[in-house]
Amino acid sequence: MEHPGVSELLAARDLVKSFHTDGATQPVLRGVSVTVERGEWAAIMGPSGCGKSTLLHLLGGLDRPDAGSVVLGDVDLASLGVAERAVLRRQRVGYVFQQYNLVAHLDVTANVVLPQRLAGTGRKAARERAEELLTALGLGDRLRALPGTLSGGEQQRVAIARALANRPDLLLADEPTGALDSAAAATVIELLAAQHAAGQTVVMVTHDAEVADGADRTIHLRDGLVVGTGAADAP
């Protein structure tokens, strides 16, 4: 149960994460603490290899830290097993990835229906929700199209619809414009801004300062540490 009056949706404390390859240990996060308010749009920025995507994966329960904690609402992700984290992600977290990750053999509508069915939504309600979202995102004439026939910007809009399908508490976007041209990128950022304006909490990883301009706040990472945080247009 959520606690009325508590505005903090996400709290990560002292996150440590390393990867082990060929007997060598590569530290990625070295004690990162981040909080996100309900309804906030936070952008995570930093150079390649600083730990941005790793942090996003930990915040959404796709991976577990070596040390530290992540609390979403009133749920400590460390207290959940693999299957329980999967259920939580389906119910409360939406992901938008740079490379879309759409199911190639399913049409646009079926891609947005799929996460809803996995979460237990009935077939008719899931299809209605999918068509509603896709139409709102300007894809009403592409409902039966396969992903491979869409432009990059269209595929990313489908990915956003899929991420929003289960009405998640938290929307995580990992370089959502990284594979797009400038016009398509602007459209995607406008869509994220519209969701944020409607009350959606968004955490977005980006290396592009222009993309981060729409966020309420930026969190700057370098060498696995938070080195600054503040308004998106702060130096």
pLDDT of residue 49: 86
Is residue 2 included in any domain, yes or no?
A: no
Is residue 111 included in any domain, yes or no?
A: yes
Cβ 8 vs Cβ 62: under 8 Å: no
Of 166, 174, 219, residue with least CA distance to 192: 174
Is residue 43 included in any domain, yes or no?
A: yes
Task: Return the CATH number at 119.
Answer: 3.40.50.300
Task: Report pLDDT digits (tens) over 178-214.
Answer: 888 888 888 889 889 999 999 999 999 998 888 898 8
How far from the centroid of its chain's Cα atoms is residue 145's Cα?
Answer: 24
Cβ 202 vs Cβ 42: under 8 Å: yes
Domain that holds residue 71: 8-230
The residues, any chain, with a CB within 8 Å of residue 55's CB and separated by 6 or more, are 12, 15, 29, 32, 34, 44, 205, 221
pLDDT-based confidence at residue 234 (cuts at 50, 70, 90): very low
Q: In what helix (H) or strand (E) does residue 162 lie, and over which residues does it extend?
A: helix 152-164
Q: Is the predicted pLDDT of residue 2 greater than 60, yes or no?
A: no
Structural domains counted in the chain: 1
pLDDT of residue 37: 95
Average pLDDT for residues 144-166, to the nearest whole number? 95
Is residue 189 included in any domain, yes or no?
A: yes
Is residue 235 included in any domain, yes or no?
A: no
pLDDT-based confidence at residue 12 (cuts at 50, 70, 90): very high
Task: Report pLDDT digits (tens) over 93-146.
Answer: 999 988 899 999 999 999 999 999 999 999 999 999 999 999 988 999 999 999
Is residue 3 included in any domain, yes or no?
A: no
